[in-house]
Amino acid sequence: MADVTDATQEGQKVTAQEVNIIAAKEIANLVRSTLGPMGMDKMLVSNDGSITVTNDGATILRTVNITHPTARMIIQVAKAQEAECYDGTTSSVIFAGELMKQTEQLLAKGIHPTMIVRGFKQAAKKALAHLDTITENTGKALNDVALTAMTGKSAEDDGDHLAALCVEAATRSSPNDVNIVVRPGAPVSDSFFTDGCIVDKSKMIHSMPEAVVGAKVALFDCELTVPSLGQGVNMQFNDPTLASQYLEEKKTELATIAQQIIDSGANVVLSMKDIDPAVADVFARNKVYAARRVAASDLEAVAVATNATIVSNALDIEPADLGECDSVEEKKFDLSPRPLLFFNGVPNSEVSSIMVFAPTEHLAYEIGRALDDAVGVVHIAHKDNAIVSGGGSAYMSMSLQVKDFAASVGGRAQLAVEAYAEALEIIPATLAENCGLSPIDSLLKLRVAHANGDHGAYIDAFEGDLSADRTVIEPKRVVHTAVQGATDTACMILRIDNIVTAKEPDEFGM
């Protein structure tokens, strides 16, 4: 067997455990500086040279090209966190990295990995049980939940306005049904919420109607044209009448396509692909609105909102495939030259849209990402009706509880439980460090406040001092999932003593 790193193998310089700890710490270090409201951004440059400036841990980890299998496992923690909670990705990775760092010292003291795993699991159980006791009902806190989720992102400057949009969308729709449309070229304060659907497209031909009342919507993910012959195919006509006959036939076919769609009752047509000018011309003459090259995500959003079926062959359209809504109209905005398409009065009352404006494209997309997360976070806080204090407060509270518990554990597992308690402090410590405070002093102050029974105390990143005003809050689920996910992954990695690289399968597929 080649490529084996064995923790127990004699003469091996670096064991699998050491390699795994290094990998976990590296990933945590990569995102460390972005944690919290004063966290720095990263500039991500893709292979084709396009740039993303972001503070979002999940976006960073999704983009970096990482091949080490253990590092990839840590990234999985972030992915799971994002999928379930929309937020807390950086925290989960930093905590997982810190658990692995603590492991290093425990292993050096000669504690067996299985013992460490047992201690960590006991500690996590205790920590999460304590989290339940400091959880509160959401009440009127949704706005603060949205603001907490957005602080530190570029969305923060217009935070109050954007938070209100988030709350409106998240209390009406599930995050999947919130359509966020992003457009540069106008101030962020122009961003708005609407309970219908918005598509960033405009009509194909000027003579098409600007608005359609009583809209019947046909959606296609195919081209509305006759199939063209493959490239390089030559046609030779020996008789000019044949050539014009061919062209006539093509025209008739195109007209049939248009007529079939109109006959189905459609008066609004959107296609993900191209629409032939001849087809569009028939639409325009019949006062049918049409837009082409609509983004797949927009097409799906309209389908959900209007109860339409997306059709893949123009001639297959039937009345039952059409969606409906009160009206479809193009609206123009002062500073943004191109109009937007609005679907008003849609039958699916669970759909909503947020239109995000920002002066530049990078900013618009970063705000779009921040809103996407914030809507999810607010939705969770609303649905679970369970919130905890942010700013590392819940982590500190859990840490103290676990420390207390450690004394009762005894034996070698006690060291692992103590190490777990220490690892929990990494979140408040990193938050303090990232806003230029001394982590040691801040942790001391915070510990004292919590020990005195102030379960909501946190280090306010902007004041640089202790606060307990309960405006920095996050859903309990965000903290719970991060702690659980990081612990599970750390334990899984700890049990590995051997990394074996699979060889190429042989002729028997073995």
Q: Which is nearer to ligand ADP, 298 or 433 (CB)?
A: 433
The contact pattern for ligand ADP, residues 406-445, with x = CB under 6 A and - = no contact, is -------------------------x--------------
Contact with ligand ADP (CB under 6 A) among 20, 91, 353, 484: 91
Among 32, 37, 376, 396, binds ligand ADP (CB under 6 A): 37
- CB neighbours of residue 240 within 10 Å: 8
Closest separation in Å from C-beta 507 to ligand ADP: 48
d(CA 163, CA 151): 11
Decide which of Mg ion, ligand ADP, none touches 302; Cβ closer than 5 to 8 Å per partner kind.
none
When the beta carbons of 323 and 376 are compared against ligand ADP, the nearer one is: 376
Residue 224 pairs with which residues in a beta bridge? 275
- By CB under 6 A, name the one of 308, 461, 483, 491 that touches ligand ADP: 461
Residue 175: name its binding partner from ligand ADP, Mg ion, none (Cβ under 5 to 8 Å by kind).
Answer: none
Distant-in-sequence contacts of 405-409, Cβ < 8 A, 24+ apart: 405/122, 405/123, 405/126, 406/123, 409/119, 409/122
Distance CA(301)–CA(382), nearest Å, equals: 23
Which listed residue (15, 34, 89, 487) is catalytic? 89
Residue of 34, 90, 103, 481 with catalytic role = 90
Nearest Cα residue to 494 out of 17, 12, 6, 9: 17
Rule CB under 5 A: which of 86-125 touch Mg ion? 87
Q: Which does 34 bind (CB under 5 to 8 A by kind): Mg ion, ligand ADP, none?
A: ligand ADP
d(Cα 123, Cα 190) in Å, to the nearest integer? Answer: 48
Question: Interface with ligand ADP includes 35 (CB under 6 A)?
Answer: yes
* Site size for Mg ion (CB under 5 A): 1
Determine which residue in the list 5, 17, 34, 191 makes contact with ligand ADP, applying CB under 6 A: 34
> In this chain, which stretch among 18-26, 46-54, 85-93, 342-350 interacts with ligand ADP, using CB under 6 A?
85-93
Is residue 228 helix, strand or coil? coil
Cα Rg of the chain, angstroms? 29
With contact defined as beta carbons under 8 Å apart, do 391 and 428 qualify? yes
Contact indicator for 258, 225 with CB cutoff of 8 Å: no
Shortest gap between Cβ of 224 and ligand ADP (angstroms)? Answer: 43
Query: Could you say which of 34, 52, 54, 56 is catalytic?
Result: 56
Q: Decide if 495 contacts 113 (C-beta within 8 A).
A: yes
Torsion 291-296-300-301 (CA) sign: negative
Q: Return the residue matching tokens 């979140």.
A: 427
Smallest distance, Å, CB 183 to ligand ADP?
25
Q: For residue 151, state whether it binds ligand ADP (rule: CB under 6 A).
A: yes
* C-alpha span between 252 and 235 (Å, rounded): 19
Q: Per CB under 5 A, which of residues 60..89 are in contact with Mg ion?
A: 87
321 belongs to the binding site for Mg ion (CB under 5 A):
no
- Asked whether position 158 contacts Mg ion by CB under 5 A, the answer is no
Does 152 engage in binding with ligand ADP (CB under 6 A)? yes
148 near ligand ADP (CB under 6 A): yes
Which has the closest alpha carbon to 174: 304, 58, 30, 324?
A: 304
Let me know: does 57 contact 89? Beta carbons within 8 Å: yes
Which residue type is seen at 132?
A: D
Q: How far is the CB of 170 from ligand ADP (least distance, A)?
A: 17
Q: Catalytic site residue 56?
A: yes
Chosen residue from 127, 472, 491, 499 binding ligand ADP by CB under 6 A? 472
Residues 6+ apart with CB under 8 A from 212: 267, 268, 287, 289, 327, 328, 329
Active site residue 59: no
Nearer to ligand ADP, 116 or 162 (CB): 162
Residue 461 interacts, among Mg ion, ligand ADP, none and using kind-specific CB cut-offs from 5 to 8 Å, with ligand ADP
CA angle at residue 301 from 297 to 307, to 5 degrees? 140
Q: Is 368 in the site for ligand ADP (CB under 6 A)?
A: no
Is 171 catalytic? The answer is: no
Say how far apart CA 470 and CA 458 lie, in whole Å.
9
Pairing of strands 458-460, 42-45: unpaired
Q: Give me the catalytic one of 144, 190, 372, 373.
A: 373
Between 148 and 225, CB nearer to ligand ADP? 148
| Dihedral in degrees, nearest 10, Cα atoms 37, 366, 195, 269 | -170
3-state secondary structure of 355: strand
* Residue positions annotated with a catalytic role: 56, 89-90, 373
The site for ligand ADP (CB under 6 A) is made up of 34-37, 39, 57, 87-91, 148, 151-152, 390-392, 431, 458, 460-462, 472, 474
The site for Mg ion (CB under 5 A) is made up of 87
